[in-house]
Amino acid sequence: MDSQRPDSAPATVISRRCRPAMVLFIGGFVAAGGAAAFWWRSRDHSTNAAAVSFDLAGVEPTVDEPGTKNPGYLGPQACAACHAERVAEFRNTSHFRACREALASEMPAGFAEGHGTIQTRDAALRFEMARTGNEFVQTTVRSTPAGEQRTNSRIDLVYGVGNADAVYFSWRDDALYELPMVWLYTFNRWGASHYHPYRSDDFSREMTPRCLECHNTWFEHIPGTLNRYKRDHFILGVGCERCHGPGRDHVAYHEAHQDVKDPYAIVRPAHLSRDRQMDLCTQCHSNAIKHKGPAFSYRPGEPLDAYYKTIVSRHTEEDHVANQTQYLRESKCFQKSETLTCITCHDPHRPTAATGLTTSTDSCMKCHQPVDCGDHDRLPAQVRSNCVGCHMPQYIKINVNFQTEDDDYVPPIRRYDHRIAVHPTARQGVLREWHLAQSDDESRREAARLTIELVEFWRSEAQRCSREHRHLGAIAALREALLIDDSSVTRDQLRAAVAVQSGVDADWATALHLIERKRFKAAADVLVEILKVQPNLARAHGKLGTVYAILGESALAAQHLGAVARHDPDDAYGESMLGWLDYLGGQFDEALEHYRRADEIEPFDAPIHFKTGLALVKLDRLPEAIGQFREVLSIDPNHIDSCVKLNEVLRRQGETQEALRFAQHAAQLTKFQEPDVMLVLAETYAEVGRWPDADAAAEQALQAAQKGDAQRVPQIRLRIQGIRARAGGAPH
């Protein structure tokens, strides 16, 4: 659920991610545009400048926003009219309750008076969780020299169903934020997500569309933004339609044809191929986390890989959240079967307790019997039927972890390993538990022996992870050892492993803070120290490469940026930055190759497509550049720079009328207050013969400069004079 990205920010009318690039490229484009033919109507600019107001009515909307409208999701209440019993049962499932409103009857004891104050390790920072009437609030309390500062954040939505952790979210206008405080049901106490320590507000982080997709049926996401949604257009929880498809046409048809029994316009998962059935679960129970298209656009029955790129994790601590389908596909049970899917063992319509299975092993008995086990005769009779205990053991999933007042990287749950296989340590664990339950001396000795072996295994696993600089993996292994034997030796090793990981995280936050403050040399020093501890940390290589580029150390920059993809093949940052450096150095073919590789890693990324378009323009491959800029606008319809560059390239191609659409759209997005954009619009109006509009747009450019950037006014006046001089012979 990690949504924190250093370059991300809430978008308003203009996507803020576009603004720095706009300064670089708009200015260059306008300078080049000074040589364009421009007709100017004679008027007294000196006397009328302040009186002109650009006519918004003359600028029609130009670029549609794709994929934002509800395709027909209705919510479970629409299904209940005909399927009341099934819907009533489904409402009790974890899927249905995956995201819900904050209701008093479902909130944990931590909100009770006297239980909601959490002092962080920073003596000047604490959180207070409380109920006020029917509302629940997180209050961030910071001690400052000027007194206590309090920031209240209302809890609007909740993730979690009461068996592990509950995560809380707060609306701010049309943006949704994940609050740092988390209730850990496993420990009956408060924990915290790892927040950025240099923040000054409530320490929340933006909620990404991909996170919402896995916990909800529908949200109307505003394309091109990281975190903006239509607040009156969402259906909470994973409902019927996530697996059966939007129900609007189905409901309308059967309301009008009540005698028809065959389902119309609805997906029946049981009739899908095994791959398409698996895709329904893989939507969320996997590492399919990179979009290939707009959010919430996948429909049941279609190939999932057409909509998402799946990351193949090398280690479980690298999994996104849940990744059961990857491991199930790796098992021999799945590979040797033509019919095994998730629903072979899981009924998606019913709570686990209502499936009728007395144990998880009952699912195994559908295909196997205990006597089929090669160890059957060597096992105690009482454990011979414990297939799951040996072949699908529960392990700590450290990729989901929190900080408590006295511990860090605390995992709230253990998950079953869906790679159905022979797990020697799991077998030892099952036997140990059985021997511990016996009273004879031989069993006690055997339990003690197995305890020693298992603890040594997990300590050795922790050492291996540490040698590989997998510090979270080491923490998980030592926590497994503690579950077996809570010894002081293991606890000391765990504290040491936690100290290493917390040091890396603290230094990372410091480096980002220094970069934000433009203290690049200091940031480089911190990043170098991080890489001494964890030399395979791709994100640290990426930031260090960027910092070195800023400092003029081009060879070191290339070295570290090149290391990003080597250490994390799913991180496009290094390739993208290498492409940018090649672009700035005039090596446009080399830049294109880096952008191609970046696009393979991150296929639905507007900045990568935009930079690709820039390089193509430099190589005079204009039709391809147009395609890239159009791709940007399909991802982010409010991308100002792409509108301007499309205008430029289309005009060079002689498609001036089409170019006008994009100049108009850029002007709308900047609210007619960007002088450079308004000059581009003026030039384009002139080229299509719309003289009054050209006159008004140019005048608006001057007014905008007078209001927002007075230093630019002389430059713009000179520009206007030059245009008028060139247009002196034009007919009026």
SS (H, E, C) 76-97: HHHHHCCCHHHHHHHCCCCCCC
Q: Which residues pair with 148 in a beta bridge?
A: 143
* Helix/strand/coil percent split, the chain, to 5: 50, 10, 35
Q: Who contacts 418 (Cβ-Cβ below 8 Å, separation ≥6)? A: 324, 325, 327, 328, 331, 392
Q: Which residue has the tokens 């904050």?
A: 102
CA distance 632 to 604: 9
State the pLDDT at residue 716.
Answer: 82
Backbone angles phi, psi at 182, to 5 degrees: -135, 135
182 neighbors 166 (Cβ within 8 angstroms):
yes
Say if residues 591 and 583 touch (Cβ distance below 8 Å).
yes
Q: Looking at residue 200, what is its pLDDT?
A: 80
Decide if 286 contacts 323 (C-beta within 8 A): yes
**Chunked mean pLDDT (size 10), the chain, 732 residues:** 35 29 32 30 32 49 59 97 96 95 94 93 95 94 95 96 92 96 96 92 95 97 94 94 98 97 96 98 96 96 97 92 94 95 94 59 85 90 92 95 96 94 95 97 98 98 98 98 98 98 98 98 98 98 98 98 97 98 98 98 97 98 98 96 98 96 96 94 90 87 91 83 60 48
Compute, in degrees rounded to 10, the torsion defined by CA atoms 249, 255, 260, 265: 10
What domains are defined for the chain?
Answer: 22-63+640-724 (1.25.40), 76-274 (no CATH), 357-501 (no CATH)
Return the pLDDT at 359: 54
* Residue 550: closest CA among 597, 514, 603, 503: 514
The pLDDT value given to residue 20: 33
H/E stretch holding 686 reads helix 675-687
pLDDT in the model for residue 721: 72
